[in-house]
Amino acid sequence: MTPTKQAPTGFPFPPRGGAMLRPRLAHSDFHTSWRSELRLWNSTAKRMTMLVTVLLLLAAPAVLSSAWLRVLVVSLILGIAAMSLNLLTGVAGQLSLGHAAFVGMGAYTAAFVTGNLEANFWWSLPAAVLVAGLAGLLLSPIALRVRGLYLAVVTLGLVFLSQHLFRNWTTVTGGVGGARIETPTLFGVNLVRGGEVGPVTLTQNQGYYLVMLVITGVSYLVMRNIVRGRTGRDLAAVRDNDLAAGVVGVGVFGAKVRAFVISSAFAGLSGALLGGFLRFINYDQWSLLLSVEFLVMVALGGTGILGAALLGALFVTAVPEILDHLAPRIPWLTESGAGLTPPRASAILFGLLLAIVIVAEPLGLYGLWLRVRKYLTTWPFTY
């Protein structure tokens, strides 16, 4: 009887007995089917990262002050709009500079519903989604005729048009005097000021922060599943080459319409949530600068990676606050006046980081994470 041959145990073959040279978390997760690859969190690294992130976010209210919780709340709200822009620009390839207009529409819809109609704040959320989604539907046919820089110019005009409407449509928006929005309450507790929910006492901003965790998480799951499904594959095909996508049977017009409607609807949701948190809005908040900030969030986080836009939103929101706190300790920073103030320093920093990202790491912060993960996966033989 011929003895069976066994694989050698030396390098590069794995050792006998299942011994592992590296920790399990450092191993790559290889996929053998489409179902495996299209899972929501399809690797050990992603699952562990998500678990650690959720635990840190849940622990934040017990550690951070109300001022820093405010920064987290604003970053979560703007993160929803940044993810929706990432879906439109990063996934579908439709460059837009008019995202601030849709966010403003959502905010003014919330003000109209809570003020003129005297309805509960939570009814303003579906209304904001509907109004902003319809606005995106009206704009979407233009995307079939123009693309790239020309589409950006068209959406840029939308920002100026919307600001004109917000300033002059006084019966709905309040004009230059702005508009107030009802403070959201839940179970009789003011989510911004805080209160008692049974045996639990919520301090300032804690309630709104916890609600925003849920809404942002649900928004991410909805957009992530859209990207993972057939709609997402159609959008990616249109992004790569819309002519080739049409040849293989993708409805190019329908894909672009869906991208604009979905993106603008979530932007409207973000605007309503931001208005409810700020409780007062004015027309000059929804300017071109806000649209540029959304693009910075997408670029710094990682173009085409939805969750990375949340990280970009946190970075863009937190850096000015950090610089403002450090201003007394940094000699070349002035808190006010004609010198280098924290807002100006943060704008310069964002510009430099954008230049570095475009040249060195197009995937932004997500690309840096991929490099770290690759190093851990292939250590000690990193090629």
What confidence tens digit (pLDDT) does each residue in 331-351 have?
A: 777 766 667 777 778 888 888
**Rounded distance between C-alpha atoms, residue 189 and residue 291, angstroms:** 33
pLDDT tens profile 50-83: 888 889 999 988 888 888 999 999 999 999 999 9
Does residue 190 register a pLDDT over 70? yes
Q: What count of other Cβ atoms lies within 10 Å of the Cβ of residue 365?
A: 20
CA distance 64 to 205: 11
Angle (CA) 61 66 70, round 5°: 95
pTM: 0.85
Residue 21 has pLDDT above 60, yes or no: no
Q: What angle do CA 367, 373, 378 make, to 5 degrees?
A: 130
Mean pLDDT of 23-51: 68
> Quick one: pLDDT band at residue 10, thresholds 50, 70, 90?
very low
Q: Is the pLDDT of residue 125 over 90?
A: yes
**DSSP state letter for 91:** I
Strand, coil or helix: 222: helix
Cα(17)–Cα(15) distance, rounded to whole angstroms?
Answer: 7
pLDDT at 250 over 90: no
CB 304 within 8 A of CB 91: yes
Q: What are phi and psi of 330, to 5 degrees?
A: -105, 120
